[in-house]
Amino acid sequence: MEWETVIGLEIHAQLSTKSKIFSGSSTAYGAEPNTQASLIDLGMPGVLPVLNKEAVHMAVKFGLAIDAHLAPRSVFARKNYFYPDLPKGYQISQYELPIVGIGHMDIELEDGSIKRIGVTRAHLEEDAGKSLHEDFQGQTGIDLNRAGTPLLEIVSEPDMRNAKEAVAYIKKLHALVRYLGVCDGNMQEGSFRCDANVSVRRPGAEFGTRAEIKNLNSFKFIERAINHEVERQIDIIESGGKVVQETRLYDPDRNETRSMRSKEDANDYRYFPDPDLLPVELTPEFIEAVRVTLPELPNAKKGRFMDAYKLSAYDADMLTQSRDVADYFEAVAQACGDAKLAANWVNGELAAALNRAGIELADVPVTADAFAGLLKRILDNTISGKIAKEVFDAMWNGEGDADTVIDKKGLKQITDTGAIEAMIDEIIAANPKQTEEYRAGKDKLFGFFVGAAMKASKGKANPDRVNAILKQKLAG
């Protein structure tokens, strides 16, 4: 009999505030351990937390973007548990009354269909510190810089049925929080991480016992971890055993999950309202003030790109996965006047160069205007697309704009028909055997003549004119 996978995801997005959720401590990444933890973050006796208004603003912004219910009144609670990097012995979170209620995200599946994934809630809470193991022989170090950093925990419904759907959902969510500017989405630094709740069942049966895979921080690991966990649970059940509700960790080196601890239920945390924090009350005026700050969202931008620039769904989707890339493309397309060419180069050469350099678009050394200048030289036949790649590499390395590089390196394309004809006449005369064989029906030799012409011109001859003149000359 077949098995059905059931997946729900809990996403922890660190909010991009300058200070922590209940104190004025900095949230900047990379400081020396324990230099950004105040008495409030440590929960010392007599200190009082004060809610960061910007964190509330960001939570509401996210709620509006997923068309969620926004609670007019939400409450902070203490979630009690012991962990070495949780100095207070409890975490301030939201439980019964979260700030963001039921909403949804639409994802596109591999066959092009759209599936709606429910969002159960998104609540504000503080992050814990971090345990350090690498630099301590037989011991664990504790860095509390992260303690108190504002988190938005986004909890989905168990609506995903395979790992690919889960990855599509988390990618969509990752793009959204970056579009909104509420989270930088840096998975390597831990500012966007995922817990996956995975179970299996017979189709139509009740939900099975779930295991939670903690702290997944890459799209590849999320897919691999879920697939492994599904196989593990099926093997247990088919061998006559029972899946245990527990928290597990994923080891990417061994591609396996291992038990971390038994999974707690809500009553184990002994939630109760935090006596030091007032309820959060959202007025209609505050919500509307946040609504006007919403940018054009990814789905709307994708639709507009397809309509306004006549792009394919694939091109538009690739360009709108990042707000920075979408803005860069649009600036290039408007400046050069050819949206399809701009899309091809932004999705192709630019994306590849960013990947090779390991940088984000914000640090790209070629501005949108300079990039458009390069594409204009393709459009006016100053250079070919092949030569343009050489020019782009030089621009990337700081050798100047497209015109400067073209002039300095002598890369202008040969478009003079007479010069190309003379060159082709010489090639045909020098290769009588190949010419005879081509005219006898060996069409594949056409590529030989094109290659010879491009070699003779050092790649500068206009390919379209070379092809046209060759066909004419070789026809006899």
Token digits of residue 159: 């609506």
Which is nearest to 156 in space by CA: 365, 334, 12, 274?
Answer: 12
Residue 264 has pLDDT above 70, yes or no: no
Q: How many CB atoms lie within 10 A of CB 262?
A: 11
pLDDT bucket at 443, cuts 50 / 70 / 90: confident
Candidate from 243-257, 340-354, 370-384, 446-460 with smallest mean pLDDT: 446-460
Phi, psi of 306 (to 5 degrees): -65, -40
CA-CA distance, 212 to 198, in Å (whole number)? 6
Distances 218 to 213, 229, 405 between C-alpha atoms, Å: 13, 16, 39
Cα(90)–Cα(81) distance, integer angstroms = 6
**Of the candidates 14, 98, 25, the residue with the CA atom closest to the CA atom of residue 279:** 98
Please give the DSSP secondary-structure letter assigned to residue 299.
H
- Residue 416: pLDDT band (50, 70, 90) is low
Q: Residue 105 has what pLDDT? A: 96
Are the C-beta atoms of 144 and 37 separated by less than 8 Å? yes
CA dist list (Å): 440 to 443, 451, 468, 475:
9, 20, 19, 10
pLDDT per residue as tens digits for the range 156-211: 999 999 999 999 999 999 999 999 999 999 998 889 999 999 999 999 899 999 99
Residue 110 or 341, more confident: 341
- What are the residues facing 9 on neighbouring strands? 196
Per the structure block, which two tokens stand in for 105? 């995200």
- The band of 265, judged by pLDDT with boundaries at 50, 70 and 90, is low
- Tell me: the pLDDT tens digits for 210-227? 999 998 999 999 999 999
The CA distance from 450 to 434, in Å, is: 12
CA distance 418 to 437: 26
Which pLDDT does position 437 carry in this prediction?
A: 82
Distance CA 427, CA 246 (A): 74
Nearest to 92 by CA among 17, 156, 150: 150
Task: Write the single-letter amino acid at 50.
Answer: V
Beta bridge partners of 201: 4
Mean of the per-residue pLDDT values for the chain? 92
Looking at the chain, the whole-number percentage of residues with pLDDT higher than 70 is: 98
pLDDT over threshold 90, residue 412: no
User: Is it the case that residue 413 has pLDDT exceeding 70?
Assistant: yes
pLDDT at residue number 218 = 92
Q: What's the pLDDT at 266?
A: 61
Quick check: 263 pLDDT over 70? no
Asked whether 133 and 100 are in contact (CB, 8 A), the reply is no
Q: What does the alpha-carbon distance between residue 38 and residue 144 come to, in Å, rounded to a whole number? A: 9
CA–CA gap between residue 47 and residue 112 (Å, rounded)? 54
pLDDT digits (tens, 9 = 90+) for 294-336: 999 999 999 999 999 999 999 999 999 999 999 999 999 999 9
pLDDT tens per residue, range 121-149? 999 999 999 888 877 788 889 999 999 99
On whether the CB atoms of residues 305 and 319 are closer than 8 A, the answer is: yes
